[in-house]
Amino acid sequence: MDMSVDEALAACSDLPSVTKKLQILHDLGLGYLTLGEETPALSGGEAQRLKLASEMGKAQADTVFVFDEPTIGLHPSDVEVLLKIFRTLIASGATVIVIEHDLDVIQNADYIVDMGPGGGEEGGKIVAAGTPAEVAENQNSVTAKYLTYVPKKP
């Protein structure tokens, strides 16, 4: 239990059922975690991805996942891992709703609901809604100023 997920993956390569579960953790970008690590020591994003590990590989029809700022504290390469996870969930039939400020995540959305026009007392109204390309063209959206529409990766 003193090994990282990645170390255990290599050590347990001859145990298919163990390897399958460890591979999911690795694919979720959690390969560096120590197997015996207590969950209170995890960041919010790590905890969300750990919860996802039990859902990966299952059919997700009629399942809705809601993520609240899952990229906080993540390195850009980890954001790419998270986007792949979202795509896997969607390909399995899930609906994924993400509350987020990270432009990489926003630009990869199928549909955006941009709230504003500012924060706090100045927020709470829908100022733009639509595809990233549609929101990027909306003059009422502050987010639009920062969106450079790039088609999603397949």
- What one-character-per-residue DSSP string does the chain give? --SBHHHHHHHTTT-HHHHHHHHHHHHTT-TTSBTT--GGGS-HHHHHHHHHHTTTTS--TT-EEEEESTTTT--HHHHHHHHHHHHHHHHTT-EEEEE---HHHHHT-SSEEEEESSSGGG--EEEEEE-HHHHHT-TT-TGGGG----PPP-
**pLDDT, tens digit, 9 for 90 and up, residues 29-44:** 889 999 988 878 787 7
What's the structural domain count of the chain?
1
6 within some domain: yes
**pLDDT, tens digit, 9 for 90 and up, residues 53-87:** 888 877 788 899 999 888 888 888 888 988 998 99
What is the value of pTM for the model shown? 0.76
25 within some domain: yes
**Residue 18 domain boundaries:** 1-37
